[in-house]
A = this chain, B = another copy of it.
Amino acid sequence: MEHFEKHEDTLKHAIAAIGSRKYWSAYPDSPRAYSDEEPAAGEEAFQAQLGRPFELDQPQSGMTGGGEYSPYGVELGVTYPKSSVDQLMSAARTATATWGKASPQERAGVCLEILDRLRQNSFEMAHAVMQTTGQPFLMAFQTGGPHALDRGLEAIAYAYAEMTKLPAGETRWEKPQGKRDPLQIDKKWLIRPRGVAVALCSSTSPTLDGYPGIFASLVTGNPVIVKPHPGTILPLAIFVDTARTAIAEAGFDPNTVLLAVDTPEDPITEELVMHPAVGIIDYTGSSDGGDRLERDVTSALVFIEKSGVNSIVLDSAPDLKGIFRNLSVSLTMYSGQMRTAPQNVYIPAAGIEVDGEQVPFGDIARGLVGAIESLLSDDQRAGDVLGAIKGSDVADLIADAAASGQVLLESRRVNHPTFPAAEVRTPLIVKVDADYQRAYMRPMSGPVIYLIATADTEESLDLARKSAIEQGAVTWLVYTTNEEVKDQAVDAAVEAGVSVAFNLAGGLYVNESAAFSDFNGTGANPSGNATVTDPAFVAGRFRVIGVRSSA
């Protein structure tokens, strides 16, 4: 309980924040907020791990490198324990015996301690995330470290609030029976885990996407088997190591958290998720993998976040400059590889009204292309914005998209000043007609931007809605000065099951969602059934066993 007392204030603040939904963060996301030694120490710790086995004292039979690689072209050479599904399940089930019986306070204390230790490792994590996902450094620091920690804390706060709603001790229940003696019975309620949790994590955002499900399962008493994408392992290995150490030091079985590493040639996902001991599966990744889970898994609780087609709708604006500035960043950030990145920009073919004047489609397209070109003209800055491409089929993706419409800006290979072998690409910008839905109504998950010429804003919203309903969507951004259009856009967003932002022109980008305030995903369209984080994301992860004893 010493951990709980140490971190109780953080938990209380988090619970208050998810109620007020005002800005709050427990882990600073500015590197300047950290001590002068931390950046170098973190990089050193990362470098020291390269080319070596990453040791974990979990049950294992040999080591494997997975298929891990760096899109920056850095030789990683880390190997990890290779554990069979039987070894993992057996260890996890044994761990449940103690972890599953701990109180919500004990478990929350240990989980908060894990977050705190990860915070102290934020720079090492930043390098690990950067080099395995291709994220630019600052993004890797923020989303891989503090933002992921905030989302983990948020999940803990939601789950803790749910678990502690029931009376903690025994309660006397007494039903009057008219003239007879009342019926009496003493009741208590035991919070018990659902089963072994499996977290299937993404190759592009392993900690930010992974922590919510991992911590929600962990704090509710379930042992967690963390299964990284075979190409992006190190960040989650660091997490698992940190978690195991903290858990063991708190007197619990370290096998409460386990790492499951596989290779593309010899995958274990199917065997893992279909194991009868599994009670919970969290998945973030491609649509194919998510669709398979939805279809095949029937007994476990399955939380899915997958890709979609995010839309921007231009209807009207007081000014274009701020819009171009904002969109040039949101459309290029990490080359559109995160599931919140916008892909399709709908603009009426006749243009839009800006401060009372009609600006033609061509002028808007030129302005946006120019803003993006200018942002990415310098190779260093281009690298800092775009990061590197994770995944091998980017050339095909770009060629395919280029053939589908009028190319307004060619994709260019950027020479990264620090990592010459890095795969860095500026986005391809293609103009297509609204009719050619086959081209743009599919998730590209890479450096491709479509400008879509529509009949009018009504058609823009219709197409955005259609693509969300059919392909999924996580974010919409609409620019309008017209209150009626705003209402129509909200109605369309509700039907499409997607959250919507209006008129972003400053330093806040549609790709970003804030822990404790924004829900990441609505769970209401094919981009996923999970809302990170809300009560539905946590409530089913534990079960209540009622115990009634004759009074």
Chain A residues within 8 Å of B, Cβ to Cβ? 19-23, 30, 32, 162, 165-167, 171-178, 180, 183, 185, 187, 189-190, 192, 194, 294-295, 298-299, 490, 493-494, 497-508, 514, 517-519, 522-524, 531, 534-536, 539-540, 543-550
Contacts and interface: CB of A to CB of B under 8 A. Distances in A.
Contacts of A548: 499-502, 504, 518
Contacts of A547: 490, 493, 499-502
Given A494-B190, A535-B539, A508 B185 contact: yes
B20 A171 contact: yes
Given A506-B550, A535-B162, A539-B535, A545 B498 contact: yes
A534 B524 CA distance: 21
A276 to B, nearest CB: 10
B543 A518 contact: no
Nearest to A501: B548
B177 A494 contact: no
B535 A166 contact: no
B545 A514 contact: no
14 contacts: A22-B174, A30-B178, A183-B507, A187-B518, A192-B497, A490-B545, A501-B547, A502-B548, A503-B549, A503-B550, A518-B546, A522-B543, A522-B545, A536-B536
A457 to B, nearest CB: 17
Contacts of A500: 545-548
- Those 9 A-B pairs whose CB atoms lie nearest each other, nearest first: A536-B539, A499-B546, A503-B550, A536-B540, A535-B539, A501-B548, A524-B543, A502-B549, A23-B175
Nearest to A542: B536
A451 to B, nearest CB: 22
Contacts of A493: 545, 547
